[in-house]
């Protein structure tokens, strides 16, 4: 039998989804599973976006422009203008989710064996995109004890080699929920300009910042016009994960020209989903205020409960809808599986994402888990009841 490629072998499994079979078996046994493992919001997708698809009238579902519908790109550039970011329509390309935008960024900017520095823990699928791009991830560790803040500039300097081509951040961060300060963003600017590096900025959760209006976009960093590649998506912003619409945004014409070739090779982004994305731009700002208040309430509920469970270490995240915690267990992977296979509390249990898969450095994150607080506060409280009872029984 022929062998698959080295790339296919090297692609990692998702730490977010790998326990799904055990959750499915638990449900077959009649156990209710609280899903805090995956960032699938339960917030309703805006009605204006859904109605735009329901009310569309056409005879042919045709290809769009490879860069996306002009009307969408024009409207999206106007949306950025409200943030003080001026863009031409050719400085953004609509992609099949933020995932494709990240892949386009890596493939357009990185040669085989080029290195991209990423603060860890990081969104696990970055590993897969790097493998597909034949690039190498170089982790720089942020610690839970330090609140997952950006490591000092000296730590970055130690990692930079003649192969280093980019730094990749997610702001606010998945999986930690950490929100980078303006000072930290300027530190990244200083490093990138000093070493002529790209800054890939994944801004999927930009509006979900709880201590200010939104996260600082890398596109706002003066003097970084040729260095910044911004990744955007409607998935989390408008609770439209299944639409698979994102964007790669940059003022670097060479990068965008290369990305457009990749976009042409896959023909076009999804036409129906672009209609969703374009219509969603009409959502009033009050929508985000209400959604942020709901997530903030959920965050506070989760963190307060975690801090009152003996042996648990956690910090309050400043953005997104994720939180990391260190549990009083030796192996969180085994514990998360045990919760699904052998435990229930009043017929219920909890599913979390073991955090080792969010680290590139072997041995890190073994006691940590990621929570996605995408359930209502009543369900979060019930899930924390399960966790507290589970830890007591597991450690007994």
pLDDT over 90 at 90, yes or no = yes
For residue 18, the model assigns a pLDDT of 81
For residue 80, the model assigns a pLDDT of 96
Q: Average pLDDT for residues 21-28, to the nearest whole number?
A: 96
Same domain, 322 and 369: yes
d(CA 335, CA 278): 43
Place of tokens 């590139």: 360
For residue 8, the model assigns a pLDDT of 87
For residue 386, the model assigns a pLDDT of 98
Same domain, 235 and 215: yes
Q: Average pLDDT for residues 257-278, to the nearest whole number?
A: 97
For residue 377, the model assigns a pLDDT of 98
pLDDT over 80 at 14, yes or no = no
CATH number, residue 223: 3.40.640.10
d(CA 136, CA 380): 37
Which of 280, 309, 329 represents a domain boundary (last residue)?
280
pLDDT over 90 at 212, yes or no = no
CB-based contact 102:90 (threshold 8 Å): no
**Residue 94 token pair:** 């609509």
Say if residue 255 is exposed, middle or buried (CB neighbours under 10 Å; 0-12, 13-18, 19+): buried
Q: How many helices (H) and strands (E) does the chain have?
A: 13, 13
In a domain, 310, yes or no: yes
Domain count of the fold of the chain = 2
Q: What is the pTM of this model?
A: 0.96
Place of tokens 């034949």: 134
pLDDT band, residue 92 (cuts 50/70/90): very high
Same domain, 158 and 300: no
Same domain, 379 and 320: yes
Task: Name the residue range of residue 331's domain.
Answer: 6-44+286-395
For residue 13, the model assigns a pLDDT of 77
Q: Average pLDDT for residues 185-198, to the nearest whole number?
A: 98
Which is nearest to 232 in space by CA: 131, 120, 85? 85
CATH number, residue 381: 3.90.1150.10
Q: Determine how many CB atoms are found less than 10 A away from the CB of residue 222.
A: 7
- The overall average pLDDT reported for the chain is 96
pLDDT band, residue 270 (cuts 50/70/90): very high
Q: What is the pLDDT of residues 29-79, one digit of tens each?
A: 999 999 999 999 999 999 999 999 999 988 999 999 999 999 999 999 999
pLDDT band, residue 372 (cuts 50/70/90): very high
Same domain, 164 and 250: yes
Which of 256, 280, 304 represents a domain boundary (last residue)?
280
Which of 280, 295, 325 represents a domain boundary (last residue)?
280
Q: Average pLDDT for residues 178-197, to the nearest whole number?
A: 97
């Amino acid at each position: 039998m022929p062998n698959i490629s080295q790339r296919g072998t090297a692609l990692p499994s998702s730490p977010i989804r790998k326990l799904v079979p055990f959750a499915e078996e638990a449900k077959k046994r009649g156990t209710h599973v609280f899903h805090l493992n995956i960032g699938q919001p339960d917030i309703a997708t805006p009605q204006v976006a859904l109605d735009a698809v329901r009310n569309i009238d056409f005879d042919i579902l045709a290809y769009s422009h490879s860069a996306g519908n002009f009307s969408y790109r024009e409207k999206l550039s106007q949306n950025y203008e409200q943030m003080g970011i001026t863009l031409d329509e050719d400085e953004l390309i609509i992609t099949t989710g933020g995932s494709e935008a990240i892949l386009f960024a890596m493939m357009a900017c990185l040669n085989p064996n080029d290195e991209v520095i990423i603060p860890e823990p990081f969104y696990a699928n970055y590993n897969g995109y790097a493998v597909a791009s034949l690039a190498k991830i170089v982790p720089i560790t942020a610690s839970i004890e330090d609140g997952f803040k950006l490591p000092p500039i000296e730590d970055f300097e130690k990692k930079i080699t003649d192969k280093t081509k980019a730094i990749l951040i997610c702001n606010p961060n998945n999986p930690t929920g950490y929100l980078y300060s303006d000072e930290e963003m300027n530190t990244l600017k200083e490093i990138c300009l000093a070493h002529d590096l790209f800054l890939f900025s994944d801004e999927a959760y930009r509006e979900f910042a709880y201590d200010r209006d939104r996260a600082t976009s890398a596109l706002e960093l003066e003097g970084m016009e040729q260095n910044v590649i911004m990744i955007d998506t409607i998935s989390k912003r408008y609770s439209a994960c299944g639409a698979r619409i994102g964007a790669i945004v940059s003022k670097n014409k060479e990068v965008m020209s290369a990305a457009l070739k990749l976009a042409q090779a896959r023909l076009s982004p999804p036409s129906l989903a672009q209609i969703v994305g374009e219509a969603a731009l009409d959502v009033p700002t009050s929508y985000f205020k209400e959604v942020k208040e709901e997530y903030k309430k959920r965050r506070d509920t989760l963190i307060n409960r975690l801090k009152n469970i003996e042996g648990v270490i956690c910090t309050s995240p400043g953005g997104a809808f994720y939180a990391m915690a260190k549990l009083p267990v030796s192996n969180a992977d085994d514990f998360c599986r045990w919760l699904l296979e052998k435990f229930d509390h009043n017929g219920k249990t909890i599913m979390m994402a073991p955090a080792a898969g969010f680290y590139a450095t072997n041995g890190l994150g073994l006691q940590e888990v990621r929570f996605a607080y995408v359930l209502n506060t009543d369900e979060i409280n019930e899930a924390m009841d399960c966790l507290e009872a589970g830890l007591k029984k597991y450690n007994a």
